[in-house]
Chain A
Amino acid sequence: MNLIIGCGVIMSEPILSIKNIKKHFLHTKNILSRIIYGTKWVRAVDGVTLDIQPREVLALVGESGCGKTTLAKLILGILQATSGNITIHGKDLNEYGKDLSGKCQLIFQQGRASLNPRKTIGALLKEAMLVNTITSSRGIEQAVDEVMEMVDLDTEFKNRYPHELSGGQAQRVVIARALSLKPSLLIADEPTSALDVSIQARILNLLIRLQKNLNLTMLYITHNLGSVRQIADKVAVMYLGKIVEICGTEEIFEYPMHPYSEALFAAIPIPDPMIERKIIVLKGETPSPIDLPSGCPFHPRCLYEKDVCRSKVPELTQITSGHWISCHFPLNWSK
C-alpha cells in the first residue's frame, strides 16, 4: 500500500492542505531534567496530513490530549510547526503574515472568555473589522449591524458588555466577529461544549445555516460526536497526534474501520432505552504523548491487536475512494 496524499478525483484546489505536520514541545526544559530523564518531547501533533475542499465541513474528532486544539493553533499560525507544511489557497502559511487573519478565523471554545470583558460588543466587532480593513470607518456601524443580524443578535446588544450576555449570546458574538472578517476557512473549536443542551442546538443550527448560506469552508473540532452527523461532510478521527481515519460522515458512523473509531462511536450513550447497544470497553487509558507506544500508538488498548501492531507504525492509506485509514487490520473491510 502506498501513501497517496491529496484527495483523489476532486478537481478543485483544496482551501486547506496540511502535509505531514508535526509539533513537538520540549518537555525536559532545563539542563538538570535533561540529564536525569534524557531529552523528552511532547509529541502533540505527530504527522498529520489532510485536505479540506471548498465549501466542505470537515469534523476533527478525538478525546482530550489527541492534539486537535494544537492542530488548530498551527493552522491559525499561533504556533510554529516543528516540521511539515500548511498551505491555504495554495500559498504557504508563513507567507501570509498579517493577512492570515483575513483568510482563516477561529470560533473559540470558551465563548465569553474570548471577549475582552472591558469592551462593549459593538466596540469588539468594530475593532476586528477596522483592523482588518474590512470596511472604512464610514460604513462601520452598518457593517456591525449586518453581522449581528446574521447571527440573530438584537442590535441593542451593541452597548452591552460580555458579562451581561448569556452563554449562547456570547458565543454568537464570537461567531459574528469571526465571520465579519469574511474568512476562507472557519475553524470552530468546540463551539458548543460550554453551553447547555438547549442552547447547543441553537448554536449548531446557526452554524449549519451560516455554512450553507455563506458557502463556508469549515474545520469543526469537537468531542461531541452526535453533533458531527448533522453538520459535517467528512470526519477525521485523531488519536495521540495522528489521524487514524478519514471518511465521509454517513459511512464512518455506519461502518467505522479503525478499532478506535469503532470504540469511540460505540461509547456514546443513546437516549433510547430499547436500542441494542454494542458495548466496547477499551482497556486502560490514553497514554501520555511524551511516551508514545511503539508501532501503532493505539495497540495497547486495541481489542484486535496482533504482533505486527506492536512493531510497525501503520501509514495513513486510502483504502477505498475517500476513505483513509491508518491500521494494519481495518475492520468491516469487506462491506
Chain B
Amino acid sequence: MVLKRFFTKKLKKSLSGFKSSNIALIGACIILFFAVIALFAPVIAPYDPYETNLEETYQAPSRSHLFGTDHVGRDIFSRVIYGTRIAFGITLLVVAIELVISVPLALISTYIGGVFDEVVMRIMDVIISIPHLLLAIVIVALMGPGMRNAIIAISISYMPMLARLVRSVSLSIKEEPYIEACHVLGFGSPRIVFSHILPNIVSVIIVQLSLDLGYALIDMASLSFLGLGVQPPRASWGAMLSLGKTYLLHSPWMTIFPGICIALLVFGFNLFGIGLGDILNPRSRK
C-alpha cells in the first residue's frame, strides 16, 4: 500500500539520479552483468557444472574449457557461471533477513525508548563486539555446516550494525520540528514511525544494504572457503577457492577465476553503494 507506492516513486527518482554519479553507474553495470549471467546460467554455461570427466582433469584454459577444468574434470567456466546464482541468492537473502528484522526492531525500539530500548541495544552491543566472521563461524559450528545455516549466521552478525545505524539516524530525526508537528496534529505513533520517520532514513538504509551485499559475499566465500558454508559438490566461488588451494601451484586457474569473480562483484556492490550514497544524500540535504 503506502510502501509499494513509495518504492516505485523512489525507483523513478533513483533512476534519474544515476546521471549524476558515474560510480553508481559503473557499479550497477557490474552487478547487472553478473545478474544476467546468473539469470541465464543454464543457457550460457556450456557444460553441466556437476558433470565430472576423469579424462580431462587439470586442464589449462583452452577453447573447449574457457577456464580450464578442476581435479575431477568439471568445467570451471560453467561452475563459475552457476556460482553466480549462489552468490546472488545468498547475498540477497542475507540482506533481506537483515532488513526485515533489524529495521523494524530498531525503529520500534527507538520510538518506545525506555527499558525495551536499553535491552535491545545492549544485546546488539554484545553481538557487535564479536568480530562477525568469528561469530558466523561459531554459529555455524553450533548449528552444523551448510548454506542455510551460513546464511543465518551471517545475517545475525550483520544485524546490529544496521540496527545501530537506523537507531542513530532516527534518534536525530525524532527531534526534528516536523516530527513534533506530527504530535501536535494528533498522529499516532505507528503513523509517525512508518510514514514520517522511515522515509527519511530510507536512503541511509539503502546505502548500507548495498555495501552489506559486498560484505556478505566476502563472508560467505570465507565460510565456504573454510568448509563451513556451501558444501561440495555445489559450485560456490568460495568452495572453489577452498578446493583449488591444494592445487594452486600446478592448476592456478582453479582459484584465479572464482577469485576474480568474487573481487569483481564485491567491487561492483561497493561502487554501487558508495555512488548511491552520493546520489541520495546531497540531494536530499537541501
Contact = CB atoms under 8 A, between A and B. Distances in A.
Interface residues of A, number: 26
A105 interface: yes
B209 to A, nearest CB: 19
A114 interface: yes
Contacts of A163: 286
Given A113-B176, A114-B178, A174-B181, 16 more contacts: A78-B180, A98-B186, A101-B185, A106-B184, A108-B181, A110-B177, A115-B181, A116-B178, A117-B284, A117-B286, A118-B200, A119-B199, A128-B185, A131-B186, A131-B187, A181-B186
A76 B184 CA distance: 7
Contacts of A116: 178, 196, 199-200
A95 to B, nearest CB: 15
B112 to A, nearest CB: 18
Nearest to A103: B186
A132 interface: yes
Contacts of A99: 186
B245 interface: no
A193 to B, nearest CB: 14
Contact of A100 (B186, B191, B200): B186
28 contacts: A78-B184, A98-B186, A100-B186, A101-B185, A101-B186, A102-B186, A105-B185, A106-B181, A106-B184, A108-B180, A108-B181, A113-B176, A114-B177, A114-B178, A114-B181, A115-B178, A115-B181, A116-B200, A117-B178, A118-B199, A118-B284, A119-B199, A128-B185, A131-B187, A132-B185, A132-B186, A163-B286, A181-B186
A23 interface: no
Contacts of B148: none
A69 to B, nearest CB: 11
Interface in A280-320: none
A177 interface: yes
Select the residue from B176, B178, B180, B188 with max chain A CB neighbours within 10 A: B178
A119 B177 CA distance: 14
Interface in B165-204: 176-178, 180-181, 183-188, 191, 195-196, 199-200
Contacts of A98: 186, 188
Contacts of A127: 187, 195
Report whether over half of chain B's contact residues are helix, strand or loop; otherwise say mixed.
helix
A163 B187 CA distance: 23
Given A113-B178, A117-B284, A117-B286, A131 B185 contact: yes
Top 6 closest pairs, chain A to chain B, by CB: A101-B186, A163-B286, A114-B177, A113-B177, A114-B181, A118-B199
B38 to A, nearest CB: 34
Nearest to A97: B186
A94 to B, nearest CB: 15
A177 B184 CA distance: 11
Interface residues of B, number: 18
Contacts of B196: 116
Given A116-B200, A117-B200, A163-B286, A108 B186 contact: no
A100 B176 CA distance: 21
Contacts of B180: 78, 108, 114
Contacts of B183: 78
Given A98-B186, A116-B196, A116-B200, A131 B191 contact: yes
Contacts of A101: 184-186
A127 B192 CA distance: 11
Interface in A80-124: 98-102, 105-106, 108, 110, 113-119
A50 B177 CA distance: 27
A26 to B, nearest CB: 17
B197 to A, nearest CB: 9
Contacts of A181: 185-186
B184 A105 contact: yes
A114 B175 CA distance: 11
A113 B200 CA distance: 13
A311 to B, nearest CB: 40
